[in-house]
Amino acid sequence: MHRHYAALIAALVLGGCATPSQDLVVLLPDKEGKVGTVVVQGQKGKTVLNTAYASARTTSEGGVQRGTASQSEVKDVFGSALAAQPPRPISLPSISRAAATNLPSNRNRK
Amino acid sequence: MQSTRSIVIRRFLLACACGLAPIASSANDIAQFKVAKGSVYLERSGQRLPARVGTHLQATDIVVTGADGSAGIAFVDNSLLSIGPNSVLAIERYAFNSTTHEGAFESSLRKGTLSVVSGKIAKQSPDAMKVKTPSSILGVRGTEFLVHSGD
């Protein structure tokens, strides 16, 4: 009986070691709808994500599978992390050089 | 006379208190917790410290959330990272020049979920920001993305 338990525990431990943790990476558009790039490098392959909601999953063999994540999947898996996002820093609109030269203080210098 | 001396002593103690106050945030601080819900801890030099809104982070800190925990962190280069429940996020390397915006930002999601809004480091230097997991390395070029690592 004890031998069966020992074999089961050994199988679980070895099975756990043989299967690397699987990752899911999803690229999101920013607030303005722009999308950047994320390169996902697995143990035996890599993929480039550069479209909105493009996803990459690492496989148990170490490869990387490209796909597309649905918004509901994003909400299900990442809802708590997204809800904890800090507020974005406020960036003041940049003033163009032409607009800056038309400021009242600069007009007087002409 | 006595009252004058006590006033001097009070002023001296007040000056000392004002001088000591900035120790709470040091030059090594790289980020600050903006959101901390449920169980959120910070592992620093082998010690486990509770993390609250306003707690500062230093390079090589590890952020841990419990089953009911989530946290949002704002870094000095405006990178925003947030993690969900049952997550472990290690800051492995952080350097940022506030004048040139050059730097390096390497973190490791050992398990759980992570949301990233990259900041000035990734914008200034492509490939300067990396996120590692136990089975992959992500190179970031100015963007927003999500990572789940684990079962």
Q: Examine residue B73 and state whether it is found in any structural domain, yes or no.
A: yes
Interface test with A, best of B136, B148, B151 (most A CBs within 10 A): B136
Q: Examine residue B81 and state whether it is found in any structural domain, yes or no.
A: yes
pTM above 0.80, yes or no: no
CATH number of the structural domain spanning residue B132 = 2.60.120
Q: Examine residue A78 and state whether it is found in any structural domain, yes or no.
A: no
The H-assigned helical ranges of chain A are: 2-18, 71-83, 97-101, 104-107
Nearest CA in chain B to A90: B78
Q: Examine residue B82 and state whether it is found in any structural domain, yes or no.
A: yes
* B37 closest CA partner among B81, B83, B74, B78: B83
B 19-48 near A (Cβ less than 8 A): 34-35, 37
ipTM value: 0.81
Q: Examine residue A35 and state whether it is found in any structural domain, yes or no.
A: yes
Q: In terms of residue numbers, what domain contains A26?
A: 19-69
Chain-chain contact of B144 with A85 (C-beta, under 8 angstroms): no
Say how many domains are in chain A: 1
Tens of pLDDT along A71-96?
A: 999 999 999 999 999 998 776 655 55
Whole-number pLDDT of residue A16: 40
Tens of pLDDT along B90-147?
A: 999 999 999 999 999 999 999 999 999 999 999 998 889 999 999 999 999 878 999 9
Q: Examine residue B4 and state whether it is found in any structural domain, yes or no.
A: no
pLDDT at B58 over 80: yes
Q: Examine residue B32 and state whether it is found in any structural domain, yes or no.
A: yes
Distance from CA of A10 to the nearest CA of B (A): 20
Q: Which CA distances in Å does B8 have to A91, B5, B15, B18, B65?
A: 45, 5, 10, 15, 47
Q: In terms of residue numbers, what domain contains B140?
A: 26-149
Q: Examine residue B1 and state whether it is found in any structural domain, yes or no.
A: no
Q: A–B: how many Cβ contacts below 8 A?
A: 134
Q: Examine residue A54 and state whether it is found in any structural domain, yes or no.
A: yes
Q: Examine residue A10 and state whether it is found in any structural domain, yes or no.
A: no
| DSSP β-bridge partners for residue A56 | A25, A66
Q: Examine residue A86 and state whether it is found in any structural domain, yes or no.
A: no
Interface test with B, best of A17, A21, A48 (most B CBs within 10 A): A21
Say how many domains are in chain B: 1
Q: Examine residue B21 and state whether it is found in any structural domain, yes or no.
A: no
Helix (H) or strand (E) holding B19: helix B2-20
Q: Examine residue A59 and state whether it is found in any structural domain, yes or no.
A: yes
The CA distance from B111 to B87, in Å, is 5
Number of H helices, E strands in chain A: 4, 5
Q: What percent of chain B has pLDDT over 70?
A: 81
The torsion angle over the Cα atoms of residues B17, B22, B24 and B26, rounded to 10 degrees, is -150
Chain-chain contact of A58 with B114 (C-beta, under 8 angstroms): no
Distance from CA of B38 to the nearest CA of A (A): 11
Q: Examine residue B107 and state whether it is found in any structural domain, yes or no.
A: yes
Tokens of residue A42, six digits: 């697995």
Chain-chain contact of A41 with B82 (C-beta, under 8 angstroms): no
Q: Examine residue A3 and state whether it is found in any structural domain, yes or no.
A: no
Classify residue A87 by its DSSP letter: P
Distance from CA of B98 to the nearest CA of A (A): 15
